[in-house]
Amino acid sequence: MTDYTPQPATFRVDKYQAYEDDKVLFEQYTILMYGSEKLCCTRPEMEQLSELIQTALNDRKETNHGR
Query: Are the CB atoms for 50 and 58 separated by under 8 Å?
Result: no
Query: pTM, whole model, 2 decimals?
Result: 0.68
Single out the residue of 48, 46, 62 nearest to residue 14, CA to CA: 46
Q: What is the pLDDT of residue 25?
A: 93
Mean predicted confidence (pLDDT) in 10-21: 95
Q: Which residue has the higher pLDDT, 30 or 62?
A: 30
Which band of pLDDT confidence, cut at 50, 70 and 90, is reported for residue 66?
low
Residues 17, 25: Cα–Cα separation, whole Å:
7
Residue 21 neighbours by CB under 8 Å, 6+ apart = none
Q: What is the pLDDT of residue 35?
A: 87
> Hey, what long-range contacts does 47-54 have (CB within 8 A, 24 or more apart)?
none
Q: What is the pLDDT of residue 9?
A: 82
Mean predicted confidence (pLDDT) in 21-32: 94
Domain ranges (residues) in the chain: 11-58
